[in-house]
Homo-oligomer: A and B are copies of this chain.
């Protein structure tokens, strides 16, 4: 039952996928906010749909296809140059500000990433955020050509790190990822940085609120996290508690 390895989700957990908003707003004006939300929702949908259709393409392709859909949906032509500028932000998403301090405090454990990202995307992210050398392994689901929460993805962890399933603490902010990791048998911490949006009383809603309503709360899929933290640095104290 002792934890030997901490495995982190990347997008939304270590890296802020909402950090595309500034660039989207700079390039697309007032529609930038809406594009930010549609893009992320569609990116997740396409990862699930392509997995389910047995039509895997890597996460770079899925991210590009979902961006093109989202731009078209709001009436902006998905010109190659515009898409490339937005796509490049996925190679240097903002690291959550407390991430480095948290990883530093957890260095007694084997640390790893398990991500939907393609190997090239993850290499670029880790380099741009200065996290080289922090992880025992950076595991891309590309090794099994399907996306989370397909059980095959979580099954990559144990052989890669040389640990047992029960020795892994999996850390994710994504509800579907929490459910998939729990179903696989990991111990799981949910990172809930924002509380679920307050219920709006008016007829209209900001796209960010809609996104939070759809993705902010734990999913009702029969598997719940063992613990919940609001910042990554809380993991240090949590692990001290588990150890004692």
Contact = CB atoms under 8 A, between A and B. Distances in A.
Interface of A: 30-31, 33-34, 38, 41-42, 45-46, 48-55, 57, 65-66, 68-69, 72-76, 147, 149-151, 176, 179-180, 183, 196-207, 210, 213-214, 216-217, 219-222
A49 B176 contact: yes
5 contacts: A30-B201, A31-B201, A46-B220, A75-B198, A204-B204
Nearest to A207: B205
B68 A220 contact: yes
Nearest to A72: B217
Given A53-B183, A73-B213, 4 more contacts: A46-B221, A49-B179, A57-B222, A205-B205
A213 B54 CA distance: 25
B199 A31 contact: yes
